[in-house]
Amino acid sequence: MKKKNLSAKKKIRNFYFKKLYDPRIKRVYLSFKKKISDHISNSFCVAVSGGADSMALAFLAKCYSLKNKKKIYFFIVDHKLRKKSTLEAKLVKTKLKLFNIKTDILTIKKVKKKSNLQSFARENRYKLIINKSLNKKIDTILTAHHKDDLLENFFIRLLRGSGLKGLSSFGNIKSKIKFDDKISIVRPLLDITKNDLRYISKNTFNFKIDDPSNNDENFMRVKVRKLVSKLEEDGLSFDKFKKTLNNLNKSNFAIDFYVKKNINDNSNFLSLNNTVILSVNFFDQPNEVVFRSFSEIIQKVGKKNYYSRGAKVENLINYLSSNKNMEKKTLSGCIIEKFEKSVIISPEIK
């Protein structure tokens, strides 16, 4: 390697490592390092939006990759929901390149979507990053979800009527991608405040993109953010909330145990044609166990990113449990049919 390249490489390393002398940045980095050390095996990637949270994550991840010689990728998603989204994506890419961070811009195909824009953008953002990760054999995706997000997501799910699983699942540092368990999503900043991440972003790259939707009260997240702020003024603390979340997680873990047992004991997976046969005992379990077991199998066979809507799953389970002569049904890319006392779930042929 030429002396000029060695000098540039050393300069970059010095930039990152000197920033870690800052006590506040060092404290967050040590927490980040502890959280991901057990979850990073080979290569990993970072989802960068350009906001202060993700820029801070990009800095922390780059430090970790330099110190531990890990292969790292950075992905920016151009969601096409704002006129300036493409320009912003290119701006983030150019800025990070100055700090020796190479990024790929992944573009969501522009479609007309008027309702639930944030959920639409989030779902498609994950799809693009997951597909790119599979292509590059990446097994871990880091996201910048932080302590404030944890509170907000809990109340958003509560207001939407989520059950135990939905209320507790976001608090997990690591979760598997359901349709392909080769990839995990890791959230190493769940104990870090947004203010800490803003501080890191400002004192390292000194650059961020401000999303105007963060102040638009037409979005539920903005309304919930203000609600959480008011509750904190009235005595809600993160420590109290975390205790509640931990208790919910314990209950959820117990149910998951019986869900796995039901799937193992009462279903037969035929890998040759990706078909599952359910025995009559599969449905002879508590309602929540049957619901989750059935949802997981539908998702696995249909190879979807997310579970089917709860109401559709419940209606289908009730139909299967009845004594009616059943016609073939379809749900989330699956064909469901009853054969004597068994139920056969197979993928739709496209």
Give the Cα separation of 203 and 60 in Å (integer): 12
Residues 135 and 49 in one domain: yes
Residue 248 lies in a domain: no
Reported as half-sphere exposure (CB side, CA atoms, 13 A), residue 219 has a value of 15
Whether 255 is in a domain gets the answer no
Which of 243, 348, 265, 268 is CA-nearest to residue 302? Answer: 348
Whether 228 and 303 map to the same domain: the answer is no
- Lookup result for tokens 């057990």: 38
Q: Is 304 within a domain?
A: yes
Residue 229 resides in a domain: yes
Residue 265 sits in the same domain as residue 193? no
Q: Which residues constitute the domain of residue 155?
A: 3-236
Do 85 and 26 sit in the same domain of this protein?
A: yes
Is the Cα torsion angle 39, 45, 47, 48 positive or negative in sign? positive
* Whole-number Å distance between alpha carbons of 348 and 94: 43
Q: Does residue 232 share a domain with residue 281? A: no
Same domain, 179 and 37: yes
Same domain, 305 and 187: no
Q: What is the pLDDT along the chain (350 residues), one digit of tens a residue?
A: 555 565 767 888 899 999 999 999 999 999 999 999 888 777 889 989 888 999 999 999 999 999 988 889 999 988 877 788 889 999 999 999 999 999 999 988 766 655 555 666 677 788 888 888 888 888 889 999 988 888 888 888 888 777 888 787 777 787 766 555 678 889 999 989 999 999 999 999 998 887 666 666 677 777 888 877 787 777 778 788 888 888 888 898 999 999 999 999 999 999 888 899 999 899 999 999 999 999 999 988 988 767 777 888 999 998 888 776 678 889 989 999 988 888 999 998 86
- Residues facing 343 on adjacent strands: 278, 338
Residue 250 is assigned to a structural domain of this protein? no
Are residues 20 and 117 located together in one domain of the fold?
A: yes
Closest CA to 85 of 77, 93, 74: 77
Strands ordered across the beta sheet of 44-48 = 103-107, 72-78, 44-48, 140-142, 184-186, 174-176
Q: Where are the alpha helices (DSSP H) in the chain?
A: 3-19, 23-36, 52-68, 85-97, 117-135, 147-159, 164-169, 194-203, 220-233, 238-266, 287-302, 310-321
Residues 232 and 288 in one domain: no
- Confirm whether 247 is domain-assigned: no
What's the chain's length in residues? Answer: 350
> Last residue of a domain, which of 190, 221, 236?
236
| Residue at a domain's end among 198, 221, 236 | 236
Residues 176 and 322 in one domain: no
Q: In this structure, are 25 and 108 located in the same domain?
A: yes
Asked whether residue 42 is domain-assigned, the answer is yes
Phi, then psi, of 67 in degrees rounded to 5: -75, -30
What CATH number corresponds to the domain at position 11?
3.40.50.620
| Residue 119: per-residue pLDDT | 65
Q: How many domains does the chain have?
A: 2
Query: 219 and 297 share a domain?
Result: no
Examine residue 152 and state whether it is found in any structural domain, yes or no: yes
